[in-house]
Amino acid sequence: MPTSSATKTILTAAHWGPMLVETDGENVLSSRGALATPFANSLQTAVRDQVHSKTRVRYPMVRKGFLASPDKPRGSAVRMNSFG
């Protein structure tokens, strides 16, 4: 994972272990495990696909019904509620 002046490598961790992630400051370019191991972990190389997926929830969301009365939740009637 060569690093130019426009990119940087960041040490981070997730449920699947410590990783080195290469970024240009806006996008994940690549990732790999940070520790030497005899066992390959494909989750450590999939960070780019996870972060830039069209199915990723990009912003926090909450039900409008909860915002209307957070002190009086009415169960989890998600079907009848819209999100905001």
Inside any domain, residue 75: yes
Inside any domain, residue 1: no
Phi/psi at 32 (nearest 5 deg)? -160, 165
Inside any domain, residue 3: no
**Counted domains in the chain:** 1
Q: What is the three-class DSSP state of 43?
A: helix
- Put residue 25 in one of left, alpha, beta given phi > 0 → left and psi -120 to 50 → alpha: left
Q: What is the pLDDT of residues 2-36, one digit of tens each?
A: 555 699 999 999 999 999 999 999 999 999 999 99
pLDDT(1) > 70: no
Q: What is the pLDDT of residues 33-73, one digit of tens each?
A: 999 999 889 999 999 999 999 998 888 888 887 888 888 87
The boundaries of the domain holding residue 51 are 8-80
